[in-house]
Structure 1
Amino acid sequence: MIGHRLQLREPATLLLPNGLPIEHPVRAWRQTATLWPFIDLVASADFLVSDRGRRPIASFDELRAEVDAMGDMRGGILRKALVRARGGVRSPRETRLRLLLVDAGLPEPEINWTLRDHRGSGVAELDLAYPRWRVAPEYDGRVHADDARQFAKDADRWDLIRSLGWDHVRILNHHMRGRGDLAVAKVRDALTRAGWRPGHAQRVPLSFA
């Protein structure tokens, strides 16, 4: 292991449970901008600011302050990444899907939106959601493909989402390959069926029927 001094200021290291010191995540995020592509910088910012059942690792203010203190890189890529970052994201593939949809000219979806029944009870948390059009795109990594119980639970959840009048759009890994054209087409088709048109934010009344 060879150490490198990257900046002339006091170190801000954290200790892992095994006692190994590591760079503070906020500083490490800025340093990765020398190598990582834009989408990975957005995904990592999403990860740092999101609450996954515990306190977020960092805040947007802390990430912005680090860029202000040490400078941006590669044409302002870090500030651009912060503009596109969102809290509450659960996975890098979810980040990529969201960016693909928005960059293709589709509306920006809500993140981890709670779907409720006619009584107001929460019945499902949707990774990405278009409440106006009742369209729910979700990336399905099939991490539980070999778990029959988990698959059955997921299938029941999909049926419940559809029973409440939503178009549940499952995005699989092969839909995301290359430029993600297949994923974008599936979501665009669902939005179009629901009444969405480019440049026309027609509101479709919510219905629980």
Structure 2
Amino acid sequence: MTRARLRAADLESPFHGIRSRDRARPTTLVEQCLVYAPRLRPWQFFSHETALALHGVSTPEWPYVPRIHVSAHRPAREPRTSGVVGHRLQTRAPAVRSATHGLPVEDPVRAWRQCGRLWPLDDLVAAADSLVGGKAPTASVEDLRSEIREMGDVRGGILRAAADLAHPGVRSPRETRLRLLLARNGLPAPDVNADIFDERGNFVAEIDLAYPRWKVAVEYDGRVHAEDERQFARDADRWAEIRAAGWDHVRVLNHHLRGDGARAVSLARDALVRAGWRPGLAAR
């Protein structure tokens, strides 16, 4: 290609050294990584929050936008170009995996530790919950702790604190935030994804956050309206079955978590008080 062709108006330059015929600018993180990928040297890979996002692990909520991080292990060189955060990591055996569209991506446990310098505590806990949760967990809490022991903690021990707060079974960042909110405001620690049954022993439902002693079920519902009428009808029947089994069902909606989340805490506390709980009982 001649220099004149590379400067032609029909080509976009999303990154230095990259030319594309696609006039639409890449918007999603995957699109941005795919556009940048031809610039990767054989020893370079996507890392930090970019790697977690490509692995499908939760990242901080909007308006936070994960940046593109590309790393290399010493003595190899990291990239230095506009629009990309380059990192030269300690000499270490690589643990790069192939993620979305075959992109070279850092091991998710290592990437989680790398985010210790970037994210606040609750976002690190949410990512840890995402790693250790689900039907096929990516890692265990012990894997996170092992990585911290091997490579060290940062920012006054924020990673150890996040690993201690991680809990298998949590399915979304909002559930993580709700769980942490309840604990920090003096409420008992709930069971996560607990099954409840009726008096005959028949399965009724799996509850996000449950207090079996007081029969209080707390769940986060992120819908602002019923997009799927059939699903909403099934959920409404489920809520009725939970109540019929003798449980007080608390639905926490998005607006309840705004700000300091005081409204969500109040809903859960009121339900527990109605069931006989009093402050000071949490530890017993």
TM-score norm. by structure 2 comes to 0.68
Give the structure 2 partner of residue 31 of structure 1. Answer: 114
1:157 matches 2:238: yes
Give the structure 2 partner of residue 122 of structure 1. Answer: 203
The C-alpha deviation readout for 1:104-151, integer Å capped at 9, x for no partner, is: 000010000001122222110001100011111110011772110011
Give 1:50-65 correspondences, 5 Å limit.
50=133, 52-53=134-135, 55-65=136-146
Deviates more, 1:116-125 or 1:60-69: 116-125
1:94 matches 2:175: yes
Q: 1:84 aligns with which of 165, 168, 171?
A: 165
Give the structure 2 partner of residue 15 of structure 1. Answer: 98
Larger Rg: 2
> Residues of 2 paired with 1:78 and 1:132: CA distance?
32
The C-alpha deviation readout for 1:132-181, integer Å capped at 9, x for no partner, is: 11111110011772110011011000000001111100100010001100
State the shift of 1:22 in Å.
0.4
> Residues of 2 paired with 1:202 and 1:22: CA distance?
43
Q: Give the structure, 1 or 2, with the largest relative contact order (CA under 8 Å, sep 6 or more).
A: 1
State the shift of 1:61 in Å.
1.5
The 1:159–1:202 alpha-carbon spacing in structure 2 relative to 1, beyond 3 Å, is farther
SS at match of 1:186: helix
SS at match of 2:115: helix
Q: 1:112 aligns with which of 177, 190, 193?
A: 193
- One-letter amino acid of the counterpart of residue 157, structure 1: R
Give the structure 2 partner of residue 197 of structure 1. Answer: 278
Give the structure 2 partner of residue 41 of structure 1. Answer: 124
Q: Aligned-pair RMSD on alpha carbons?
A: 1.6
- One-letter amino acid of the counterpart of residue 248, structure 2: D
The C-alpha deviation readout for 1:45-77, integer Å capped at 9, x for no partner, is: 111111x23x21011111111000110011100
Q: Which runs of 5+ in 2 are unaligned?
A: 1-35, 37-78, 80-85
> Residues of 2 paired with 1:46 and 1:13: CA distance?
22
State the shift of 1:17 in Å.
4.9
State the shift of 1:26 in Å.
0.3
- One-letter amino acid of the counterpart of residue 128, structure 2: A
SS at match of 1:156: helix
SS at match of 1:31: helix
TM-score norm. by structure 1 comes to 0.92
Give the structure 2 partner of residue 140 of structure 1. Answer: 221
Amino-acid identity (%): 64
SS at match of 1:5: strand
Give the structure 1 partner of residue 147 of structure 2. Answer: 66
Q: Which runs of 5+ in 1 are unaligned?
A: 204-209
| 1:144 and 1:150 in contact (8 A); partners too | no
SS at match of 1:126: strand
| 2:97 and 2:107 in contact (8 A); partners too | yes
1:186 matches 2:267: yes
> Residues of 1 paired with 2:100 and 2:251: CA distance?
38
- One-letter amino acid of the counterpart of residue 138, structure 1: E
> Residues of 2 paired with 1:75 and 1:202: CA distance?
27
> Residues of 2 paired with 1:110 and 1:202: CA distance?
14
